[in-house]
Amino acid sequence: THESHAGGVVSVAVTPDSQFVVSGGANKTVRVWSLASGEEVRRLGGRTSDVHGVAVTPDSQLVVSGGADKIVRVWSLASGQQVRRLEGHAESVWCVAVTPEHIVSGGYEGGVRVWSLESGEQV
């Protein structure tokens, strides 16, 4: 049991290699936990508002989040560094999903956007 998101956990994802759990919460944080030990191993910074959705790429290398700031952010799981900032939603980003080649995000405005995982460009 992990109780470190003040305001509640809104979204969770497990890395495909079953090593980590990623959580997003109402306290503007994305956290990475060891599935084996339950210990927090990393906090991913840069969010300026509540996190509504998190996902992990199929190769377990990148973490994706969306939130109330209308931005989709992408981090390296290994380094914790933000590698992409995807802007285009008019309202909060409520959900994110990934494929080997794309990031898909859904916004409160009713829009679904598809982004190239490699370039970060909308497709």
pLDDT, one tens digit per residue, over 55-84 is 999 999 999 999 999 999 999 999 999 999
| Amino acid, single-letter form, for residue 90 | A
Residue 56 CA to residue 33 CA, distance in Å, equals: 13
Task: Average the pLDDT over 73-100 and give the result.
Answer: 96
Answer for the pair 98, 105: CB distance below 8 angstroms, yes or no.
no
pLDDT of the residue at 28: 85
Residue 48 CA to residue 111 CA, distance in Å, equals: 21
Q: Tokens in use for 10?
A: 């809104």
Please give the model's pTM, rounded to 2 decimal places. Answer: 0.92
pLDDT of the residue at 45: 79
Answer for the pair 116, 101: CB distance below 8 angstroms, yes or no.
yes
Q: How far apart are the first and last CA of the chain?
A: 39
Residue percentage of the chain with pLDDT more than 70: 94
pLDDT over 90 (residue 19)? yes
